[in-house]
Amino acid sequence: MNLTDLRDELTTHADDLGSAPDFRAGVADRVRRTKRRRAAAAGAGAALAVAALAVGTLASLGRPAPSVPAGSPSSAVPMLGTDGMPYRTVPDAPGDITKDGLRLRARVADDLLEGGAIGDRGQSRIAVDWVPSSTSVSLVGACYLDGAGVGRASEVELRVRIEGMQGYFGSTCLGRPTERDLPTRVFTPGEPGRGWAELTVRRPATLIVEVVDRTTGKPLDGSDVQVAGAVYTDLGHHTPIRDASGKVVAVIPNTIEHQGYTYTQVRMSSAPLPRWQDLTVGVDPGAAMVLWGSAGEGLTGTDAPDESGMRLARYPGGSVTRGYGWWGTDVLPADSTVRVTASTQGARAAHGSGFIAVYAPSP
Amino acid sequence: MDHASFDDFVASLSTRLLRTPYLLTHDRALAEDLVQTALSKAWFVWGRIEGRPEAYVRRIMVNTYASWWRRRWNGEEATADLPERRPEGHRADDVRVDERTDLWRALERLPKRQRAVVVLRFYEDLSEAETAEIMQCSVGTVKSQASRALAKLRIDPSLRPACDDERDGERDDERDGEHDEERAR
């Protein structure tokens, strides 16, 4: 072995690699997930600290954040988004709440808006009254800081709570979003599939969304802040995911939406993480979505194996990884094959379940 | 820098960025994962990167790779074709092909940081100082890691020269290598 051989070897393999795929969509997806994850971590920490809104598994953060309802990608020649999936802008509908380029949709897939508000710029607190028709709700809280740097964002905290209850979900403030539609599922309190026991059907409740000083907890004054909040009721059908003991650790929707189009679950596989084996799922022709990951009590907490998790390999389309206890959607190129692999380096999760569900365009 | 320039950066440099992690991981899917991980980390600080963004992203990739052992999985190597059988009476070119395969495998056996030094020094052609900056260590560490890596490659059983002529040739190359490192100091 000499240095010339070494250089040649490295160069040859590098040259054989060919062109890289376009990473922009994948990177944008990871950035979005990181933001959600950071918000989730803040929310989980705050909720645990005050132990009141309790029961909240922040499962919703692993859930898809569908943007809009409606038809099928095959109903017309669709535009394509940056991720290669059909894309369309859905016009405002009755019941939508809009302000300053933001929108809370009245209906998104199976999520129905029960109440919501988008505050004025400089208004750091809003209250949303509603009468629960179900205990299966998700709470939305969002906070935007105009032109704020990391320093400013780290000084403030967004709190989402129910008036009269102790505790809150905490989150962080972000810069102005590039997408118009706010997510429908930010916090989903309660046990998976069983609703939120703290809530009583038909008893009026008030959602409070406010920005406070992170250190003092006092309300924040500032012209650069804008908050929004909403309550959505989940009317849809779901598929329960159970762990080895039979306990439901997550419920995944049978219908999801992506960029204005709906997708319906066509197959799903799950298995307990301790005996997880590589799972390969074929995808039918046509654009599709996959919802995958793992769920289980404490998987994302302090007993979670650090940096271990699951990996989704898409051929073609590259791979994505996701830590234990997190799940969400990814796009699938047409005619691809999906393989989900649980990480086996580091400690494998001792409980919980992994799952993968494939969604096809709704007819 | 705004995020539009980030998109331009990603679009124009993806192929170049992919090569280094591929040489580090020897796995295209893992390399793509590493690039996306590094780029998404860079996105959050894009407006505050001082100097060349490419160097910054490369630094994230190398250091993420070095601390990434727990994220690896049981890799399966899918091959489209069966490997060709080695011909009975091979020519000199055939021997060279086999040596490259052995060298690639020998590189896989290097510890991560040593492999990173090898890739940065002998593929990226970075100086010891530049390599040290990317790996966030001292120049002395780069020297020692490079020296150990080359020593390991030289004594790797699959790369030992089979006859005295080759051994003599290697000694000449070793002297060249020493001069090369000397120039880089």
DSSP SS3 for B150? helix
Radius of gyration of chain A (CA): 21
From chain A, the residues in CB contact with B30 under 8 A are: 319
Q: Answer yes or no: is A19 within a domain.
A: no
Q: Answer yes or no: is A229 within a domain.
A: yes
Nearest residue in B to A2, CA atom: B173
The string of pLDDT tens digits covering residues A271-310 is: 998 888 888 777 777 768 888 888 887 675 434 445 567 8
DSSP letter, residue A76: S
At residue A345 the predicted structure's pLDDT band, cuts being 50, 70 and 90, is: low
Domain region containing A268:
238-361
| Number of structural domains chain A divides into | 2
Q: Answer yes or no: is B48 within a domain.
A: yes
Q: How many CA atoms lie within 13 A of A220 on its CB side?
A: 30
From chain A, the residues in CB contact with B24 under 8 A are: none
How many angstroms from the chain centroid is the CA of residue A200? 26
Last residue of a domain, one of A188, A208, A234: A234
Q: Answer yes or no: is A20 within a domain.
A: no
**Cβ A324 vs Cβ A263: under 8 Å:** no
Last residue of a domain, one of A179, A201, A234: A234
Give the pLDDT score at B160.
64
Q: Answer yes or no: is A2 within a domain.
A: no
What length is written for chain B?
185
Q: Answer yes or no: is B81 within a domain.
A: no
Q: Which of A100-104, A211-215, A297-301 has the highest mean pLDDT?
A: A100-104
Count the neighbouring beta carbons within 10 Å of the beta carbon of residue A84.
Answer: 15
Domain region containing B64:
3-70
From chain B, the residues in CB contact with A24 under 8 A are: 7, 10-11
Q: Answer yes or no: is B75 within a domain.
A: no
Concatenating the DSSP letter of every residue in B17-35 gives HHHHHHHHHS-HHHHHHHH
- Co-location of A68 and A188 in the same domain: yes
Concatenating the DSSP letter of every residue in B49-112 gives --S-HHHHHHHHHHHHHHT-GGG--------SSPPPPPPSS--HHHHHHHHHHHHHHHHHTS-H
Cβ neighbors of A262 (< 8 A, separation 6 or more) are A69, A70, A71, A72, A109, A255, A256, A361, A362
In this prediction, residues A4-9 reach a mean pLDDT of: 87
Facing residues of A70 across strands? none
Residue with more model confidence, A138 or A191 = A138
- Co-location of B102 and B177 in the same domain: yes
- Co-location of B151 and B107 in the same domain: yes
B18 touches chain A (CB under 8 A): yes
- Co-location of A222 and A266 in the same domain: no
Q: Answer yes or no: is B87 within a domain.
A: no
**Nearest CB to A3; choose among B19, B28, B177:** B177
Angle between helices B128-135 and B112-122 (to 10 degrees): 140
Q: Return the closest-CA partner of residue A354 out of A338, A343, A363, A362.
A: A343
Write down the pTM of the prediction: 0.52
**Nearest CB to B99; choose among A5, A11, A345:** A5
A307 touches chain B (CB under 8 A): yes
B145: tokens are: 């890691």
| Number of structural domains chain B divides into | 2
From chain A, the residues in CB contact with B118 under 8 A are: 6, 10
The string of pLDDT tens digits covering residues B91-137 is: 333 333 333 467 888 888 888 888 999 999 999 889 999 898 888 78
The string of pLDDT tens digits covering residues A103-151 is: 999 998 888 999 999 999 889 999 999 999 999 898 888 888 776 555 5
Q: Answer yes or no: is A260 within a domain.
A: yes
